Structures are given as C-alpha cells and as structure tokens.
Amino acid sequence: MTQDTNETATLELRDISRRFGSRNVVDGLSLRLHAGQVTCLLGPSGCGKSTTLRIAAGVDQQTTGHVLINGELVSGDGQHLPPESRGIGLMFQDFALFPHLTVAKNVGFGIARDPNRDVRVRELLGKVGLEDFGDKFPHQLSGGEQQRVALARALAPRPAVMLMDEPFSGLDNRLRDTVRDATLELLKSEGTAVLMVTHEPEEAMRMADQIALMRDGRIVQSGAPYNIYNSPVDRRAAAFFSDINVINGQVHGALTRTPFGDFLTPGIADGKDVEIVIRPQHLRIDFDRGGRGPNPTVEEGTPARGVVERARFLGHQSLVEFAMDYDNVRLHAVVPGVFLPNAGTPLWLSVRRDRCFVFVQ
Ligand SMILES: Nc1ncnc2c1ncn2[C@@H]1O[C@H](COP(=O)(O)OP(=O)(O)OP(=O)(O)O)[C@@H](O)[C@H]1O
C-alpha cells in the first residue's frame, strides 16, 4: 500500500470472505482505500472481483469479515447497512439512465432535496463537458455522453466512495480512451475514493493509483502500477500484464545457467528449479558480425545467439521468434517499428539483468 496505514481509510475491507456452497469465491481479502485515490481490482474472469465490489456496496453480504467506511462499521458483527445508507456512488456496466427524465433531472435525481441542487447539477454537467445537454433526454445522447451523465449522477451526492464495475466495457474502443480520461479527471477533481473492477491490465494501468491483483478470491499483489508491472510476485502475475518468455533452469552454487550466461540466484537452495521470466519488449537484438555478437557487459551478461524462426508485422511493432543455440530454448522479442528479418537469419539477443524476474518453481 502506498499510504500510511494508520490513517483512517475511506473504505476498508477487513478479512472478507464470501462462500457460495462449499467454495470461498472471496477468501480472506483485505483492502484499504483513501480519498482521491483510484484502486483497481484486476484479475481474470471469475476470480471474485465483482463479488468483492458488491460486498463493499452492500448489495451482497460477506460470510465473514468487516466493511468500514470512514472508520465506521457498515457491515459485520450482525450489522448490515443497505447501499443507500453507506454514502457510496455506484456505477455498473449497465448504467441505465432514467429514460423519461432529462439529463439535468437524471443528474439531480439523488439530491432532489438539496437546496443547491441546480448549482451542483450545472457544475457536474460542466465537468463532464455536457453543459448544454441539460434539457435533452437520454435517447438523444451517444453512448459516451450517456456514460458521462451516469457518472455525474453517481457523483452528485458527493459520495465518499465510488464503486465502479467495468464501467467502460459497453463503450466502443474509439470512445473508451477519451471517456476514461475524462472520468479519471472528474473523479480526481471530486476527491472521491474509487474502487473499480476491471479485467483489462491496460485499463488498470491507465486509471489506477493502486492495483490490487486478484486470483482465486485473494489479492496476490497490490501496489502502484509501475511496481506491479516491474516487480511481479510470480510468473502468473508477470504474465497477466504482457506476453512473457520463460527460461527454465536449476540452481547450482547460487548460479543458474541460461542462454545469457550464469544468473546469480542467491538465497535459493541448490537443486531448486527456477523460472527466469523476460518480457519480449526487454530483449535487445544485435546483428551477427562473422559469428560474433556484442561484447558481454556486467549489466546484460553474455549475449545469446539465435536464429530467426518467424517475424511478424504487428503495426507499430514487430514480433520476432527465435530458436536459440542454447538448449533448444525458444524466445520471442517485440521490437518497435518495422524490423522483419528473414527466417534463418542469425541474430544476437541481450537483456538487462535487472529486467529479468527469477521465480522458484
Ligand atoms: N450468487 C452466486 N452464487 C453462486 N456462485 C456465484 C454467485 N455469484 C458469483 N458466483 C461465482 O463466484 C465466482 C466469482 O464471481 P465474480 O463475479 O465475483 O468474478 P469476477 O472476477 O467479477 O468475474 P468477471 O470478470 O467474469 O465478472 C464465479 O465463479 C461465480 O460463478
């Protein structure tokens, strides 16, 4: 976590489990959210993200554990406040607006008795770039505009916590990036604590201050996107964010042999099998000069020779697949721009040691 854990969290999930039948679909999950911070629950389908969000919202109830908002218990120990009494905003994939109400009335719906309602509605419509849309009806709006109205409506009562489940998945790709950016800007300007569910790593990296990576009902790693991407806890965490290369090896005397020379693998017992994981974009390609490659360096170890098996053009980058000279290892590299060597071309690969992850199997 990036924040001081002594500070009262805006939303705290404390050791939450949710059992369906004999299975814990959420299993001892704890999470703390702070004002102005966007946390993404990220993970594969079925890992328990939506169930966690529903428990935070109060539309589902945990089997064990506690939910606190601003330090106050809202669910647990026999208590269970309904969603409307929790001071939360909700936004789901299906963000249905009221079709018979104008945009302004939709946004003002949750603050009907607020004397400053009209000012607040105007302020929010301005913030989502729809100041002239107040008198329109939902069916006169595009999908992206409707999404922005739904966001304004959810934020109108100034909820301490905003809970969002795949809020952009109904939008087409072209719209999604702009709507995401506008949403993020608005959430930040309102200072709300946000918990957002997504199964898309790129979306989480784009939106989150903190990513909580889930698997089988548990958070396996949480932290800033940069840290999660660059220091994954295991091979599966690394593979969730990009395609990866895996080199299998065995530790002998604190060293593991690889195509790139011996890797220092201290602290791992002799004879242990390890996986060395390299992201394809971290492999550097050099030309073969009469059977020789670049010189070894401390940073990168020994370059490894391989022969191109296949090269594919992917638009803004190319994917080159290699059969390495070493031990039938196959590696693939992603290089920016158009670089499409012919099959059979010998080339040299290097990788910075600090870009490689070593995991005990
Ligand atoms: N009411 C229920 N009764 C029984 N099983 C349920 C119920 N709700 C969810 N589940 C199961 O719990 C697991 C977690 O579901 P959940 O919707 O939380 O996953 P998710 O990570 O949000 O997945 P997705 O990204 O596909 O929405 C799934 O296997 C699902 O089938």
pLDDT in the model for residue 2: 45
Q: Which amino acid is at 89?
A: G
Q: How far is the CA of 166 from the centre of ligand 1 (A)?
A: 14
In the predicted model, what is the mean pLDDT of residues 313-331?
93
Q: What residue ranges of the chain are covered by domains with CATH 2.40.50.140?
A: 242-360
| Residue 342: pLDDT over 90 | yes
Residue with CA nearest ligand 1 atom 24: 45
Q: What is the best residue among 13, 19, 20, 27 to mutate for testing ligand 1's pocket, by most ligand atoms within 8 Å of CB? A: 20
Give 101-145 pLDDT, tens digit per residue.
999 999 999 898 899 999 999 999 998 889 999 999 999 998 888
Looking at domain 242-360, what is its CATH homologous superfamily?
Answer: Nucleic acid-binding proteins (2.40.50.140)
pLDDT in the model for residue 30: 97
Edge-to-edge strands, sheet with 64-69: 23-33, 11-20, 64-69, 72-76, 79-80
ipTM greater than cut 0.85: yes
* pLDDT over 70, % of the chain: 98
Q: Are 204 and 229 in contact (CB under 8 A)?
A: no
CB of 51 closer than 6 A to ligand 1? yes
Q: Position of tokens 């169930």?
A: 51
> Lowest-pLDDT range, 12-16, 326-330, 331-335?
326-330
Q: How far is the CA of 21 from the centre of ligand 1 (A)?
A: 12
Give 35-62 pLDDT, tens digit per residue.
999 999 999 999 999 999 999 999 999 9
pLDDT in the model for residue 93: 75
CB of 47 closer than 6 A to ligand 1? yes
List the one residue out of 211, 106, 57, 90 whose CA is nearest residue 162. 90
Place 244 in a pLDDT band, splitting at 50, 70 and 90.
very high
Q: Are 347 and 322 in contact (CB under 8 A)?
A: yes
Q: How far is the CA of 51 from the centre of ligand 1 (A)?
A: 6
In the predicted model, what is the mean pLDDT of residues 152-170?
91
Topology of the domain covering 11-87+159-239: Rossmann fold (3.40.50)
> Lowest-pLDDT range, 95-99, 161-165, 275-279?
95-99
| Mean per-residue pLDDT over the chain, rounded | 92
Residue with CA nearest ligand 1 atom 29: 46
In the predicted model, what is the mean pLDDT of residues 135-159?
91
Q: How far is the CA of 197 from the centre of ligand 1 (A)?
A: 13
Q: What residue ranges of the chain are covered by domains with CATH 3.40.50.300?
A: 11-87+159-239
| Residue 1: pLDDT over 70 | no
Residue with CA nearest ligand 1 atom 25: 45
Q: Say what the pTM is.
A: 0.88
Give 175-224 pLDDT, tens digit per residue.
788 888 888 988 998 899 999 999 999 999 999 999 999 999 999 999 99
Place 5 in a pLDDT band, splitting at 50, 70 and 90.
low
